[in-house]
Amino acid sequence: MSRLEIDNVTFRDHGPYSLEICGRQCLGLQGASGSGKTLLLRAIADLDPHGGSLRLGSMLCSEVPAPLWRKSVALLPAESSWWQDTVEGHFHDFSSLSAGLLKQLGFDFEVGSWQISRLSTGEKQRLAILRVLENRPGALLLDEPTASLDAANITKVEQLLLEYGRKNNAPLLWVSHDPEQLDRVADRSLFMHENGELTTLGGEDGC
């Protein structure tokens, strides 16, 4: 799995959108508030009804069970959900996580026993990133992944996500309100206007 192909995708009154993101490539997306950036990510993750075709490598969205697609094309929302009392209850096997990855995000294994109620917004976001990466997705859809983080953690998370893409040949679609961030992380960038139209800001298409 490497290339994420979005072919004539439509949702609500938006589209059609056709994009291609290659493995190890980060496509940045910014735009007007309410223009549909999050809705586009949700459509690509097959969380909302949509038209068109979605493919990751040889996997066609319409031909596989929805949970398999969502595990492979993982959406990291701007605000994560938490439904168990402790951190470890939100992971398949918290004890099997990489100690190095935990440390990179500012934690150790002790965090598994923490009550969700004691977590700050930034801690929740860093743990949500860890939760997504536990499934080893083939592509990442990132909706403002660092919006709740301080400068030091923004740098760590940017490095971590880009490193994941490179090591796993995974395409990244990164939504951010910060054009300077997209200058740092994205190979190319798009802008979504209020009417949903996409225009190219910079970078070249292709792998």
Q: What's the whole-number average pLDDT of the chain?
A: 94
Q: For residue 98, what is the DSSP state?
A: -
Residue 31's domain comprises 4-202
Asked, for residue 63, whether it belongs to a domain, the answer is yes
Q: Residue 108 contacts by C-beta under 8 Å, 6 or more apart in sequence? A: 99, 102
Q: Which amino acid is it at 144?
A: E
Q: What pLDDT digit, counting tens, does each position of 23-58 carry?
A: 999 999 999 889 999 999 999 999 999 999 999 999
Asked, for residue 92, whether it belongs to a domain, the answer is yes
Three-state DSSP state, 9:
strand
Q: What pLDDT digit, counting tens, does each position of 117-128 carry?
A: 999 999 999 999
CA–CA gap between residue 207 and residue 197 (Å, rounded): 23
Asked, for residue 207, whether it belongs to a domain, the answer is no
Q: What pLDDT digit, counting tens, does each position of 127-169 carry?
A: 999 999 999 999 999 999 999 999 999 999 999 999 999 999 9
Q: Is the pLDDT of residue 201 over 90?
A: no
Quote the percentage of the chain above a pLDDT of 90: 93
Q: What average pLDDT does this structure show over 7-33? A: 95
The CATH number linked to 73 is: 3.40.50.300
Number of domains in the chain: 1
- Please spell the DSSP secondary structure of 12-77, one letter per residue: TTEEEEEEEE-TT-EEEEEE-TTSSHHHHHHHHTTSS--EEEEEETTEEGGGS-HHHHHHHEEEE-
Asked, for residue 108, whether it belongs to a domain, the answer is yes
Asked, for residue 196, whether it belongs to a domain, the answer is yes
Q: Is the pLDDT of residue 1 over 60?
A: no
pLDDT reported for residue 4: 98
Q: 203 falls in which pLDDT band (50, 70, 90)?
A: low
pLDDT reported for residue 57: 95
CA–CA gap between residue 146 and residue 197 (Å, rounded): 25
Q: What average pLDDT does this structure show over 68-79? A: 95
